[in-house]
Amino acid sequence: MKSFLSSLTSILTVLIVPLIFVRILLIPGFPALEYSMPGFPADQYGFSNAERVQWAAYGIQYLVNNTGPEYLADLRFSNDTPVFNEREVSHMLDVKIVVKQVLNVLLAALILHLVLGVVAWRRDWLEAYFQGISRGGWFLLALIVTLGLLAITSFSQFFTAFHAVFFEGDSWLFSYSDTLIRLYPIRFWQDVVLYVFGGAALAGGMLGWFLAKK
């Protein structure tokens, strides 16, 4: 039982750490920070930085609030044309469903991790519990390095494979002139992967090293 607790703790650690960084990036203010990064490309179709920040924040807010597709579908430019077309709204609904599922998994994993900690404390298995976290940290570091190398080698293939796992067909492909691509170009997603992978790798390495020392 003690070894099972330790192994399950390792698995949960691998799951929880990167999802925490995903959740951190799901704040409406993140696009504004990203657009201010050196070398971030301007919108070639005419969005000012302020307009980009405004519409991108709506997109992020939609992913984490409890509204329906009308939240995005009802948005209009000053000339009364929709900010997001029907295909974009449909895709964002798919993304919202995935995000909700991911956040539910994160919450459940955190609760289970806490329960395991309480069990370990009550049964005097804290050493096995912390060893599990340490092993999970090292495994996460190795996993992130492997995935990171794949992303660096060919980000387009990595990006395509990611979408193939979570979305059907070509529902995630859009024209460069569509609002979603103008707000969230490929550089945006490259940086997102860098932040999540970098943060998770650093946290995993620190957990692995620090708790192993303890």
Residues 17-55 have pLDDT tens digits of 999 999 999 999 999 999 999 999 999 999 999 999 999
How much of the chain exceeds pLDDT 70, in percent? 99
* Whole-structure pTM value: 0.91
Write out pLDDT tens, residues 160-208.
888 888 888 888 889 999 999 999 999 999 999 999 999 999 999 999 9
pLDDT digits (tens, 9 = 90+) for 139-153: 999 999 999 998 888
Q: Which residue from 71, 1, 77, 31 is spatially nearest to 191, judged by alpha carbons? A: 31
Nearest to 211 by CA among 143, 148, 147, 120: 120
Backbone angles phi, psi at 174, to 5 degrees: -140, 165
Among 178, 189, 1, 210, which residue's Cα sits nearest to residue 81?
Answer: 178
